[in-house]
């Protein structure tokens, strides 16, 4: 799959345009369910001076990570970009990753395409160590908000969309049915669960969508809206059952980036 070549200095401006495009994208009909009142951690928002772009948070003082699970924009000839449907596999399309609040994040994506999408925005997939570090936050807790699970703090209480549609088979086609993440009480918008955040300002790392990390053998972490317990708890959830080219309705991602070297350092 080809990756768009973009001058690195243009990423900030392109990110602003992409955020506007995503915000104006067609909305799904699924209603938004407000989480139960839960104490929200005090977020330490850092800016460009910390060496990270505005759509990323500084984690552990050593790397940048997307604040939100990634959405996609499709890149056309002449640099024209349009939001890519979050419930359609993006194989065969030239896409790049964006991180914005209030969007349905991209599911149905393989680790390979996620890796290319990050690279298309001058970023990269997080490695497993970085991902866990960013999820646990400065207090190194099991969940972004603390060591004890708080029901409904994150999107880890969704309904089974295959059961809702009467789909029993676990075939490739069934697991990639586009309507699965458009049903009520399934996928949530980025940042919708305001308590699913740590002090670094990184949202939704537990639940909502599995997140691919940079393992060519295939690893995704954090669980999704139906399961954050089966393969570990919270930030320690880790699945290695699928190859890097696998995708289904539950697979998503976010990107990382090295710190920008400040002049004089």
Quick: pLDDT tens for 165-204. Answer: 999 999 999 999 999 999 999 999 999 999 999 999 999 9
Cβ contact 46:153 at 8 Å: no
Q: Dump pLDDT digits (tens) for 37-86.
A: 444 454 454 444 378 999 999 999 999 999 999 999 999 999 999 999 99
- Name the pTM for this structure: 0.82
CA 262 to each of CA 53, 56, 119, 135: distance values in angstroms, whole numbers, following the listed order: 13, 17, 22, 26
**Which of 21-30, 125-134, 187-196, 213-222 is least confident?**
21-30
Topology of domain 8-26+35-258 in CATH is 3.90.1580
Q: Is the pLDDT assigned to residue 34 strictly greater than 90?
A: no
* Residue 146, phi-psi category: left (phi > 0), alpha (psi -120 to 50), beta (remainder): left
> Residue 37: what pLDDT?
43
> Residue 50: what pLDDT?
73
Mean pLDDT in residue range 104-123:
98
Rg (CA), the chain: 17
pLDDT cut 90: percent of the chain above it: 78
CA 221 to each of CA 34, 204, 224, 229: distance values in angstroms, whole numbers, following the listed order: 25, 12, 9, 11
Mean pLDDT in residue range 84-112:
98
Residue with tokens 């029901």: 151
Tell how far CA 157 is from the center of its chain. 18
Confidence of residue 141 (pLDDT cuts 50, 70, 90): very high
* Residue 57, phi-psi category: left (phi > 0), alpha (psi -120 to 50), beta (remainder): beta
> Residue 260: what pLDDT?
78
> Residue 15: what pLDDT?
53
Q: Is the pLDDT assigned to residue 28 strictly greater than 50?
A: no
> Residue 13: what pLDDT?
45
Cβ contact 157:224 at 8 Å: no
d(CA 219, CA 67): 20
d(CA 70, CA 68): 6
75 three-state secondary structure: strand
> Residue 126: what pLDDT?
98
> Residue 46: what pLDDT?
43
Cβ contact 86:252 at 8 Å: no
């Amino acid at each position: 799959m080809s990756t768009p070549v973009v001058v690195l200095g243009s990423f900030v401006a392109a990110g602003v345009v992409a955020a506007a495009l995503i915000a104006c994208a067609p909305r799904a009909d699924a209603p938004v369910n407000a989480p139960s009142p839960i104490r929200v951690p005090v977020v330490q928002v850092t800016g460009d001076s910390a060496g990270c772009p505005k759509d990323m948070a500084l984690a552990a003082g050593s790397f940048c990570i997307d604040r939100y699970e990634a959405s996609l924009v499709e890149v056309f000839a002449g640099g024209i970009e349009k939001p890519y449907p979050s419930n359609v596999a993006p194989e065969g399309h030239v896409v790049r990753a964006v991180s914005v609040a209030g969007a349905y994040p991209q599911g149905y994506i393989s680790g390979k395409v996620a890796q290319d999408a990050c690279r298309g925005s001058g970023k990269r997939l997080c490695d497993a160590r970085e991902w866990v570090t960013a999820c646990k936050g400065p207090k190194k807790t099991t969940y972004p908000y603390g060591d004890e699970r708080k029901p409904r703090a994150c999107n880890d209480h969704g309904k089974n969309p295959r059961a809702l549609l009467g789909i029993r088979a676990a075939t490739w086609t069934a697991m990639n049915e586009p309507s699965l993440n458009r049903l009520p009480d399934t996928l949530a918008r980025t940042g919708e669960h305001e308590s699913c955040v740590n002090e670094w300002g990184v949202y939704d790392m537990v639940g909502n969508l599995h997140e691919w990390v940079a393992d060519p053998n295939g690893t995704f972490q954090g669980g999704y809206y139906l399961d954050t317990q089966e393969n570990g708890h919270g930030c320690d959830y880790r699945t290695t059952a699928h190859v890097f080219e696998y995708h289904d309705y539950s697979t998503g991602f976010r990107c990382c980036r090295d710190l920008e070297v400040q002049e004089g350092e």
